[in-house]
Structure 1
Amino acid sequence: MTTTASVTGASTDLSAVIGGSNASEAGSADRFLKLLVTQLQNQDPLNPMDNAELTSQMAQINTVTGIENLNNSVQAMHASFLQMQALQGASLVGRDVTVDGNQLTLVDGQLEGGFTLAGPADAVQVDILNPAGQVVDTLQLGAQDSGRHGFAWDASKLADAGGHTFRVSARLGAAEVASLPLMLDRVVSVGLDGSSGLVLTLERSGDKPYGEVHALN
């Protein structure tokens, strides 16, 4: 009598054989196949295992192997992406970028800053503060749309324009509109961080993830 070898009597649990969440280990597929061959060799000819389960478990081991290969490919792509980011980031050294902050920057005799509005406002006011925190002037910018805006203040009469800051207040009728102050800063160097990716070292703000840069200037 000829017996067709199939697989189910000994009921192999693939997830137990290949170690569940540790299935990415290199020897997991070999262990599974060796156990499967042993079961086939020792099965009861009168009660053969089911072909459907053999097919199902072979599909599982192929899926596990495919996932492991995919993970390796993703890790290699991530490493290449970080290297590419570092090369691109090197071109930013010496350039100005826009980041969160309320420090004013002297440009051609004017102190410049910026802000973003969470919504439209019918009255926007910017107070210019000296290094002691005292208001030295106020700019009335009127109505502004939501989004990013810039402003400039004449600093030509100041003996020393360093250390000046600003604050923004915006309203729509009686309601306050949320605002975020923005400032210019210069990139001194770039580096890579395992969790944040490309990190810029800025002249005044220190280290900033590239994702926190609002604009390149």
Structure 2
Amino acid sequence: LIQKVLSAVLVGYLLGSIPFARTAARLRGVDIFSTGSHMAGTANVFWNIGRWTGTLVFVGDVAKGSAAVVIAGLLEVPAPLILLVAAAAIFGHWMSVFARFRGGDGMAPLMGVTLAMEPALALLGIAAGFAVILLLSHRPLRSSWGIICCFAVMLTLSLYYQVDRGLVLGLTSLAGLVLIRSTLVRRRRTRRAGAGVALPLSAIDPEPDLGPPAPESP
């Protein structure tokens, strides 16, 4: 069992490390780590490179999170321990071995592992989360609020339906870690850029209301 879990965790980390955002940006002649929020994630690509490129990156990042969980299931890793594999996939996205241990926020891989582990609840939660993002389309940190709404809905529904509440709580804990790390990273980069002056969270949102996404270059 230990060997299966360790193998699944390693595979999860390597899958999470696949730098879709960095690769897509390079194909457009852009260094994603020097653009926008300086993070290799869907939002940065979508808003600063192009909506179609950003959409492809989103699909890839979600898929690698789901793939990590599916492979863990094929290796017969017990459900509670699959959370370790999910965490490894998110950690790989944060600190990619293929991108000098840099990466993105981890929200898309989080969505992927959640869809793979609790698909029915995840679909309802994600739908609610996207609704919040659309409602807050002119507000900063809308993705973070969408994630909060998504997992609040999942937690609430888990009280009324026969699901593994332990898994839902575990996934919610992972979501909390993603949000905490995202906030800390943004604050640190803002302090560095502002010569020690800490700006409010609204000033460090990677998805500011700056009009439409960047047009795709030919």
Question: TM-score, structure 2 length as denominator?
Answer: 0.24
Q: Which has the higher strand share?
A: 1
Q: Which has the higher helix share?
A: 2
Greater relative contact order (CA < 8 Å, ≥ 6 in sequence): 2
Question: TM-score, structure 1 length as denominator?
Answer: 0.24
